[in-house]
Structure 1
Amino acid sequence: MDAGELIKKIIWQENELYNLYKLGETFALFERPDLRDDFAQLAEEELRHRKTLEGLLSEGTIEGLLLDYMDELELEPMVHDERAHPDSLEELIVEALIREKHAYELYTKLSHILEGSLSQIFRMMAGEELKHAYRLRLIYEKIDG
């Protein structure tokens, strides 16, 4: 798999997280209006990640970049999350936590595999995914408490 194919899969994953958070906004609107802004902010940040990745594709920043076969094997499991269908706010948060963990691990590995500005971009995105997971845990404690 070349880097372009990988980025397209990651864009899909970011879009799935965005959709989960938009669904979270809807759940919150009816179940917990006090959490609606939290989900809106998370959705906005995932949208920004998607746009960053789309920029890497459109600018040709990753063109011709091939990943080592062993690196590719390490990254592969994290880009295969299926579409989520949560039935409740609790299920949505658990699903989002799993996806945020996968995104954090993926971006951390990419930051080690790649060099220069690409490494920095993925390191920054890994840090943001870690913050998202922390915020999701706080949200979960609010609804579980």
Structure 2
Amino acid sequence: MNLEELLKSIIHQENELYNLYKLGETFATYELPSMVEHFKWLAGEELRHKRTIESFLEEDTLKGTAVIDYLDSLSLEPYFKDERAEPADLEDLILEALIREKHSYELYDRLSQILSGSLSDIFKMMRQEELKHAYRLKILYEMIGE
């Protein structure tokens, strides 16, 4: 995997999460309307992440960074093997999203450790945001049972 493939794969996965949360909005509209705003917020977060990585791709931001030295040893397989989710209901959707958020967290954690300076800080911030998403999803999951 080269740097461009890495960034395109991350963009794809962020877009998949965005789509999952948009589907969550639809499910919530019919199943639990109180969750709609949560899914809108989550979708917006993933869209922002996608745009950040797109800017890295367009501007060659990571070219010449330490990431290149570690591409083969990043162990990215779990993150990029997530296939298109087809949840049957809100509960399935949340469980699928939790897995994907975990994968995103792990990837951004690895990248934040490899990079330095402001690039490391950006990935640390994105890592923390994925953790917040997972926490919010756990709360939403608990709301389903109420």
Q: TM-score, normalised by structure 2?
A: 0.93
Cα separation, 2, equivalents of 1:70 and 1:57: 19
User: Deviation of residue 67 (structure 1)?
Assistant: 3.4
Cα separation, 1, equivalents of 2:73 and 2:118: 19
User: Deviation of residue 78 (structure 1)?
Assistant: 1.8
* CA deviation string 1:33-65 (max 9, x = no partner): 111000000000000000000011111112344
Q: 1:115 and 1:71, CA in 2 relative to 1: closer, same or farther beyond 3 A?
A: farther
User: Deviation of residue 71 (structure 1)?
Assistant: 2.6
1:19-58 aligned at under 5 Å gives the runs 19-58=19-58
Q: Which amino acid in the other structure matches residue 73 of structure 2?
A: D
Aligned residue for 2:114? Answer: 113
Identity %: 60
With 120-129 and 57-66 compared, the bigger mean Cα shift is at 57-66
Cα separation, 1, equivalents of 2:142 and 2:78: 29
Aligned residue for 2:99? Answer: 98
User: Deviation of residue 105 (structure 1)?
Assistant: 0.6
Runs of 4+ in 1 over 3 A off after TM superposition: none
User: Deviation of residue 115 (structure 1)?
Assistant: 1.8
User: Deviation of residue 69 (structure 1)?
Assistant: 5.2
1:3–1:67 Cα contact (<8 Å) kept:
no
1:2–1:67 Cα contact (<8 Å) kept:
no
2:2–2:71 Cα contact (<8 Å) kept:
no
Aligned residue for 1:68? Answer: 70
Q: 1:91 and 1:115, CA in 2 relative to 1: closer, same or farther beyond 3 A?
A: same
Matched residues, number: 144
Aligned alpha-carbon RMSD (Å) = 1.3
Q: Give 5+ residue unaligned stretches, structure 2.
A: none
1:77-92 aligned at under 5 Å gives the runs 77-92=78-93
Cα separation, 2, equivalents of 1:80 and 1:126: 19
Q: Which amino acid in the other structure matches residue 84 of structure 1?
A: A
Q: Give 5+ residue unaligned stretches, structure 1.
A: none
Aligned residue for 2:12? Answer: 12
